[in-house]
Amino acid sequence: MGARTGVKSKKPSANGNGRFLELRLYVAGQSPKSLVALANLKKFCAEHLDGQYELQVIDLVKTPQLAQNDQILAIPTLVRKLPVPIRKIIGDLSDTTRVLVGLDLRDKAGAE
């Protein structure tokens, strides 16, 4: 979809810890919270996900019709589409531990 902006994607690779994450970050324009969240997320991904993820950033100001599918209320919201079940993390993602818990990666993160 053309409406998706800032798509950062890496092909899944066979190596790593075998967990591939499909993430969506919902933001509203260039609001401070959105910008902070995006920056925090990029940092988090680089530190913890080892390229095993696909991230879409969706700007609801441009594509409001996309809010319903993932039941977005709060901005910013990070949605883990895969693996199921869906997980949601709301807020500016400033607390890395909570993001790990929210993405259900804590045990693996600790094991690394």
Partner 1 sequence: MKRLDKSPTGIVGFDEVTNGGVPKGRPTIVCGGPGCGKTMFALEFLVRGATDFNEPGVLMTFEETSEEMSKNVASLGFDLQKLAAKKKLVLEYVRIEPSEIQETGEYDLEGLFIRMQHAVKSVGAKRVVLDTLEAIFSGFSNTGMLRAEIRRLFRWLKDHGLTTVVTAEKGEGTLTRYGLEEYVSDCVIFLDHRVTDQISTRRMRVVKYRGSSHVADEVPFLIDERGFSVLPSSSMKLNHEVSSERISSGVKDLDEMLEGKGFYRGSSILISGTAGTGKSSMAAHFAQETCRNGERCLYIALEESPAQAMRNMRSIGVDLEKHVRKGLMRFEAWRPTQSGLEMHLLQIHKLVEQHKPSTVIIDPLTSLMTGGRDQLHSMLMRLIDYLKMQQITGFFTALTTGRNKEIEETDVGISSLIDTWIFARDVELNGERNRCLHVLKSRGMANSNQIREFVMSKEGIHLLPVYVGNGTMLTGSARISQEARERAENLQRQQTAEEQQRVLSGKRKALEAQIAALRLEYAQEETRATLVKQQDARRERELSEDMLQMESFRSGARRGKIGGRNGKVEVEHGS
Q: How far is the CB of 106 from partner 1 (least distance, A)?
A: 11
At position 89, the amino acid (one-letter code) is: I
- Residue 25 main-chain phi, psi, to 5 deg: -115, 120
Q: How far is the CB of 20 from partner 1 (least distance, A)?
A: 20
- Interface with partner 1 (CB under 8 A), residue from 12, 90, 106, 109: 90
DSSP character for 72? -
Residue 33 lies near partner 1 (rule: CB under 8 A): yes
CB 80 within 8 A of CB 21: yes
Q: What token pair was written down for 13?
A: 């690779």
Residue 107 lies near partner 1 (rule: CB under 8 A): no
Applying CB under 8 A, the span of 5-13, 17-25, 36-44, 49-57 interacting with partner 1 comes to: 36-44
